[in-house]
Structure 1
C-alpha cells in the first residue's frame, strides 16, 4: 500500500483539481504538498520520488512559457491549421452573425444555473395584455376555420380588414413608425393564441412579423426607406412577402441562381443607376396578395459602375408588386391549408439602387442580414404556432376523454388512452416552456441562432407528435372534416412547419450541434480565430492561451462525467428547491457529457465531423434536451414552483432525460473510432444507461390533470383560444368538463338502477321518465342528465354534407388546358 499511496494521492488530487477547475499552478502546488506529506508520513520513498518526477515532467514544460510555446504550442498550432475544417460562406456567416446566451453555459460542463434563474420573468405590459384580451380575442371569435379552409381557401375580406385595421402586421414595428412596438414575448403570445384556432390566420399574421421586409428595414433600412415603408407596413397599406427559396436553392441560400446586374435604366422617367434582376422564387408566403416584395439575389457589377468588385454577393432589395416585369404566379396549395403562398418570377426587372435594403452600403451583406433575422423569426413564429396547437390539444383532448364514454367508462380511464394523454400533456408543457424561453432570449437582446434552431426543430416535431396522439384519442371526431372537426386540419398542417424555415432533417443533423459546437463552446471559436490570424507570432500567443484553457476544460469534463456517472449525479451543490435540485444535478452531468463528447469528436474527427451527420444529430439532441429542460425549470420557478404542475414537469423532464441518454448511447455505440467509443462509454455510463422514460404512475397523474379542472390545467390552457362560441368546437368541449364531472355520480346512480330494473323503455327520454317515476333520480337530476347527453352529443357529433357541397368547384370549372401545371401548359 505504501508503494501505491503516492500515485493514488497524485490521481486523487488531480481529479479534485480537475473537477473544481483549479489552475495548473494550484494543482501543482497542492500535489507537491500531498507528495511531501507522503514522504514524511511513511509512504514508499522511491514511489514518492517517481510521482514527484512525473509531476515535474508535466508541470515544468507547461508552466514555463519559453519552453511551452516553441515545443508544444507552435507544433500544435501548425497541426490545427492543417486539420481546421474549411467553412463555406454559408457556415462562416452563420457563425459570425449569431450571439450566445445561456446556451453557451450548457457547453461548459458546469452551467451557472443561478444565471438562468436570475433572468427576469417574462411578462407582458398592460398594453400588450390588453391587445391579447381585446383585438386578438375578437379576431379569434371571427375566425371560421372551415370557411377559411374549405369554402374560401383564404381569409374572408372582413378578417383581412380587421387584421390591417388593428395593425397585426405591425406588431414588431416601433411606435414612431405607426407600429405596435411589442416585445418578442407579446409577439409569441399573439401567434400562440391565433394558432390555437387557425394555422392559416397565425401564419398570415406571423410572416410579416418575422422574416420579411419589415424586420429587415427596421434593422438595416436607410432612414428614407424606414420613413416611407414602415408606416405603410404597420397600417396594412402594404402586404409584404420575402422571396428567398427557389427551385434550385432551398436550404443553401448562398447558391441561389437569381441575379442582378448593375446597369443604367429608366425609373420614374429618369435615367438612373440600378439593377436588372432575373429571378424565380417559390414557396413564398403571402406572395399572391403581396404588394411589397423583399428579394434575395446575387449581385454583379461587371462594368465596375459602383466599385472594383465584380461579384458583390448576396444582396436584398424591395420590389413594389407593380414593377414592370414582376410576375406573381398562381397559388401553391400546401397540404389543404390554404394560407397565401405561391411563386414569384421576373426577367430583366429594373430597379434603382435606392431599392436595395440599406442602400449600396449593404450590397453583398444580404446573407448576414438574413441570418440575424432568420434567428429571430425562427425563434417566434413556428415555435409559437406549435405551442398554441399543443396547449389547445392538451386541454381539449382531456375534456373529450372525460366526456366520451365507451363500455360505460370515460375513454381517458383506459391505460392505452392515458399513455397518449400523458404524451400530449408533457409535450404541451415542454413546447410552451421552450417557445417562451426563446422569445425571452430575443427580448434580452440576443440573436439566438442555436436556441432558435432548437425551438424550431423540437417544437414542430413535438407538435406533429401531439397531433398524431390527439387524432388517436378523438378518432372519428378528428378524421371527419367539417365545422365541428377539432383536429383534422392541425394533423394535415403539421408537416408544413416541419418543412419551412429550414427543413427539420437539416436543422437537426447540421445546424443545432454543428453551429452550437463552435459558436457556444467556450474555447473552439477563440482557437479558430487565433489559428486564422495571419501574424504567426501573435497567433501563437493567442492560441497558447486558448489551447491550454481548452485542455484543462476537457480534462475537467472527463473527470466530472465519470464522477457524476458513478454517483448518479446525486451528490453536489445545486440551485432550486427540494423538488428540482435533483433535476439540476442531472443536467450538470449531461452538460459535462456533452462537452466531453464535443471535444473528443472535434479533436479526433476534425473537418470530417461536419459530414458525420448522424453523430452531429445525436449530439444535437443532447444539447437540445438540456436546453429544453432548462427552459422547463426556468418556467417552473418563474411561476412560483407550483406543486400542482410537478407531474407535468416530471413527465417532460424524464422524457427528455431518457432521450438524452438514448442519444448519447447511440453516439457512443456508433462512434467512428470504435476504441474511443468504448473508452468514452466507461466515462459517460460507468454503470450503464440508467434513465428510463416516464412510468405508468406518472402518466396516470398527467392524464388525470388533463381530465379534471385544476390549477395546473388552467395554467397550461393560458394563452390559447378556448371561448365556447359557435366557431370553436374545441372550446365548447372544454367548457363542458366541469358540468360533465358534476353529473357523473348521477349518471352512475341512474345506470346502476337501470341495469337492475325491469322497465321496458328503450329510448333515453323514456328511461329518464321511468327513473323519475321510480324515484331513482329527482327532476333536477333528470335535467342534469339531459344536459349531459346534449353536451356529449355536441362533443362527439361530426358533420355530413350533400355531395355538391364537397366539390372543389374552382378547379373543375376551369377549362381543361388551365388545369395543367404551368410547365405542361
Structure 2
C-alpha cells in the first residue's frame, strides 16, 4: 500500500491543480511538497523517488524556455500550421466583426457567473415605455389581422399613415436626424408587442429597423448621405428595402452574381463616374412598396477609372426606386402572411459613385459592412417576433383550455392537453428570456454574432413547436380561418421565420458552433493569429504562450468534466438562491463538457471539422442550451427571484438540460474517431446519462398556472397585446378568464341540479328560468351563467362565409366576363 501512496498523491494533486487551474510552478511546488510529506510519513522511498522523477520530467522542460521553445513548441507549431483550417477572407471578416459576451464564459469550462449577473437589468427609458404604452398600443388597437391577411393582402392606408407619422420606421434612427433614437431593447419590445397581434405588421416595422439602409447609413454613410436620407427614412417619406438574396446566392451571400461595372454615365443632367448595375434579387421584404433600395453587388473596374484593382469586391449602394432600368413592384405571396415582399431586377442601371453607401471609400467593403450589421436582424427582429407569438399563445391557450369543456370538464384538465400546455408555457418562458437577453446585449453596445444565431435559430424553432401545440389544443377553432381565428395565421407564418436571415438548417449546422468554436474559445483564435505572425521569433513566443495556456485549459476541462459527472454536479461554488444553485452547478458541468468536446474535435479533425455538420450542429445545440438557460436564470434574478415563476423556470431548464445531454450523447456515439469518442464518453458520462425530461408533476403545475389568474401568468403575458377589442379575439378570450373562474362553482351547482332534478325545460334559457323559480340558483347567479355562456360562445365560435366571399377577385371577374360574353 505504501508503494501506491506517492502515485495516488501525484494524481490527486494534479487533478486538484487542474480543476482549479493553478499555474504550472504552483502545481510543481505542491506536488513536491506532498511527495516529501509522503516520504516523511512512511511511504515507499523508491515509489516516492519515481513519482518525483515523473514530476521533474514534466516540470523542468516546460518551465525552462530554453528547452521548451526549441524542442517542444517549435515542432508543435509546425504540426499546428499543417492542421490549421484555412480561413477565407470572408470567414476572417465574419470572425473579426463579432464581439464576445457571456457566451465566451460558457465556452471556458469554468463560467464566471458574476459576468452574467452583474449585467444591468434590461429596462426601458421613460420615453420608450411611453411609446410602448401609447403609439404602439394604439397601433395594435387599429390592427384587424383578418382584413390585412385575407381582404387586402396589405396594411390599410390609415395603418401605413399611422406607422409613418409616429416614426415606427425610425426607431433606430438617432434623434438628431429626426428619428426616435430608441435602444435595441425598445426595438425588441415594440416588435414583440406588434407580433402578438399581427406578424405582417411586426415584419413591416421590423425590417426598416433591422438590416437595411438606415442601419448601414448610421454606421458607414457619408455625412451628406446621412443628412439627406436618415430624416426621410425616419418619418416615412422613404420606405427602405435591402436586396441581398438572389436566385443563385441565398445563405452564400459572398457568391452573389449581381455586378456593377465602373463607367461614365448621366446623372441629374451631368456626366459623372458611376456604376452600371445588373442584378436580380428575390424575397426582398418591403420591395413592392419601397422607394429606396439598398443593394449588394460585386463591383468591377475593368478600365481602371478609380484604381488599379479590377475586382473591387462586394459593394453596397442606394438605388432610388425611379432609377431607369429598375424593375420593382411585383409581389411574392409568403404562406398566407402577405407582408410586402417581392423581387427586384435591374439591367444597365446607372448610379453615381456618390450613391455607394459610405461613398467611394467603402467600395469593396460590403461584406464587412454586412456581417457587422447582420446580427441585428438575427438578434432582435426574428426572436422578438417569435417571443410575441409564443407569449400570447401561452396565455390565450391557457384561457381557452379553461373555457372549452368536454365531458363536463375543462379540456385543460386532461393529461394529454396538460402536456401540451406545459410545453407551450415552458418554451414561451425560454423564448422570451432568450430574445430579451440578446436584445439587451445589442443595447449594451455588443455585436453578438454567436448569440444572434442562437437566438434566431432556437426562438423560431421553439415558436414553431409552440404554434403546433396551440393549434392542437384549439382543434377546429385553430384551423377555421376568419376574423375569430387568432392562431392559424401565426402557425402559417412561422415557416417564414425559419427560412429568413439564413435558413435554420444552415444556421444550426454551420454557424452556431462553427463561429462559436473560434470566436468564443479563450485560446483558439489567439493561437491562429499567433501562428500567422510574420516575425518568426514573435510567432514562436506568442504561440508558446497560447499553446500551453490551451493545454492547461484542456486538462482542466477533462478533470472538471469527470468530477462533475461522478458527483452529478452536486458540489462546488455557485451563485443563486437555494432553489437555483443546483441549476448553476449543472451548467458548470456541461460547460466543461462542451469545452472538452470542442478541443478534442478541433485537435483530431482540424480543417475537416467544418464539413462534419452533424457533429457541429450537435455541439452547437449544447452551446445554445447553455446560453439559453443562462438567459432564463438572469431573467429570474432580474425579476427578483419570484417563487411563482419557479415551475416555468424549472420546466424550461430541465427541458434544455435533457436536450443538452441528448446532443452530447449523439455527438459522442457518432464521433468520427471512435476510440476518442469512447474516452470522451467515460469522462463526460462516467455514470451514464442522468438528465430527465420535465416531469408530469411539473407539467401539471404549468398547465394550472396558465389556466388561472396569477402573477406568474401576468409576467409571462407582459409586453404582448391582450387588450380586449373587437379586432382582437385573443385579447377578449384572455380577459374572460377571471370571470370564468368565478362562475365555475355556480356552473357546477347548476349542472348538478340538471342531473339530479326532474327538469322539464330543454333550452338553456328556459332551464335558467326554471332554476331561478325552483331556487337552485339566484338571479345574480343566473346573470353569471348567462355571461359565461356568452363568453364561451365567443371563445369557441368559428366563422362561416357565403361561398362567393371565398372566391378570389380574379375568379369573380372571370365569371362576370364569361357571362357578358355569353
TM-score normalised according to structure 2 size? 0.99
Deviations 1:249-278 (A, max 9, x none): 000100000001111111111110110111
Deviations 1:369-412 (A, max 9, x none): 11111112210000000000000000000000001000000000
The equivalent of 2:375 in structure 1 is: 375
Q: Secondary structure at the match of 1:122?
A: coil
**CA deviation profile, 1:582-635 (whole Å, cap 9, x unmatched):** 100000001000000000000000001000000000000000000000000000
Say whether 1:201 aligns with 2:201.
yes
Question: For residues 631 and 622 of structure 1, what CA distance do their matches in structure 2 show?
Answer: 14
**C-alpha distance in structure 2 between counterparts of 1:135 and 1:208, whole Å:** 18
Q: Distance in 2 between matches of 1:289 and 1:136?
A: 22
CA distance in 1, matches of 2:224, 2:812: 48
Residue matched to 1:823: none
Q: Which residue of 2 aligns with 1:757?
A: 757
Report what 1:821 is aligned to.
Answer: none
Deviation at 1:576, TM superposition (A): 0.8
Give SS of 1:547's match. Answer: helix
CA distance in 1, matches of 2:813, 2:45: 99
> What's the counterpart of residue 234 of structure 1?
234
1:699 is the counterpart of 2:699: yes
Find the residue that maps to 2:738 and give its secondary structure. helix
What's the CA shift for 1:757? 1.1
CA contact 1:477–1:486 (8 Å) conserved in 2: no
CA distances 1:104-151 after superposition (whole Å, capped 9, x unpaired): 000100101111011100000110000011100000000000000000
* Equivalent residue, structure 2, for 1:822: none
Distance (whole Å) between structure 2 residues aligned to residue 497 and residue 377 of structure 1:
11
Query: Which position in structure 2 is the counterpart of 1:820?
Result: none
Deviation at 1:329, TM superposition (A): 4.6
Partner of 2:350, secondary structure, is: strand
Instruction: Give the whole-Å Cα distance in 1 for the aligned partners of 2:643 and 2:606.
Output: 47
1:558 aligns to what? 558
1:311-348 deviation per Cα after TM superposition (whole angstroms, max 9, x unaligned)? 11110000000011111051000001100000000011
Tell me the residue number matched to 2:358.
Answer: 358
| Structure 1 position 41, deviation (Å) | 1.5
Q: Give CA-to-partner distance per residue, 1:631-690, whole Å, 9 cap, x none.
A: 000000000000000000000000000000000000000000111111100110111000
Partner residue in 2 for 1:283? 283
Structure-2 residue corresponding to 1:516: 516
Is the contact made by 1:329 and 1:345 (CA closer than 8 Å) also made in structure 2? no
Q: Partners of 1:83 and 1:249 in 2: how far apart? A: 30
In 2: Cα distance, 1:497 partner to 1:653 partner: 24
CA displacement at 1:535 relative to structure 2: 2.1
SS at match of 2:136: helix
1:319-330 to 2 correspondences below 5 Å: 319-330=319-330
Residue of structure 1 in register with 2:260 after alignment: 260
Measure how far apart 1:296 and its partner are: 0.2
Unaligned runs of 5+ in 2: 817-822
Q: How many residues align?
A: 816
- Once the two structures are superposed, the pairs formed by residues 171-182 of structure 1 within 5 Å of their partners are 171-182=171-182
Q: Which residue of 1 aligns with 2:155?
A: 155
- Tell me the distance in 2 between the aligned counterparts of 1:514 and 1:214: 30
Is 1:625 the counterpart of 2:636? The answer is: no
SS state at 1:59 partner: helix
CA contact (8 A) 1:21 1:552 kept: yes
Contact 2:557 2:596 in 1 (8 A): yes
Counterpart of 2:211? 211
Q: Distance in 2 between matches of 1:693 and 1:325?
A: 58
Structure 1: gaps spanning 5 or more residues: 817-825
1:13 aligns with 2:13: yes
* Partner residue in 2 for 1:302: 302
Correspondence 1:251 to 2:281: no
Instruction: Quote the offset at 1:760 in angstroms.
Output: 2.0
| 1:395 matched residue in structure 2 | 395
User: 2:104 is matched with which residue?
Assistant: 104
For residue 671 of structure 2, give the secondary structure of its aligned residue in structure 1: coil
- Map 1:592-631 to 2 at 5 A: 592-631=592-631
RMSD, matched Cα: 1.0
State the secondary structure of the residue aligned to 1:315.
strand
SS in 2 for 1:282: strand
Q: Secondary structure at the match of 1:54?
A: helix
* 2:795 corresponding residue in structure 1: 795
Residue matched to 2:192? 192
Assess if the C-alpha contact under 8 Å between 1:292 and 1:321 holds in 2: yes
1:434-477 per-residue CA deviation (whole Å, 9 max, x = no partner) reads: 00000110011100000000000000001100000000001111
Cα pair distance change 1:545/1:155, threshold 3 Å: same
TM-score by length of 1: 0.98
Q: SS at 1:351's partner residue?
A: strand
In structure 2, the partner of 1:93 is: 93
1:386-425 aligned within 5 A: 386-425=386-425
Secondary structure at the residue paired with 2:726? coil
Partner SS, residue 380 of structure 1: helix
- Equivalent positions of 1:677-716 (< 5 A) are 677-716=677-716
Distance in 2 between the 1:91 and 1:334 partners? 31
CA deviations on 1:748-786 (whole Å, 9 max, x unpaired) are 011111101111211111111111111110111011001
2:820 is matched with none
Deviation at 1:538, TM superposition (A): 1.4
Say if 2:668 and 2:680, in contact at 8 Å, map to a contact too. yes
Distance 1:812 1:533, change over 3 A: farther
The CA deviation at 1:813 is 4.2
Separation in 1, partners of 2:304, 2:60: 59
2:65 counterpart residue number: 65
| CA distance in 2 between partners of 1:545 and 1:207 (Å) | 45
CA distance in 1, matches of 2:499, 2:815: 33
Instruction: Name the residue aligned to 2:74.
Output: 74
> Do 2:377 and 2:501's aligned partners in 1 also have CA atoms closer than 8 Å?
no
Does the C-alpha gap of structure 1 residues 810 and 25 become closer, same or farther in structure 2, counting only changes over 3 Å?
farther
Q: Alpha-carbon deviation of 1:812?
A: 6.8
Distance change >3 Å, CA 233–CA 811, structure 1 → 2: farther
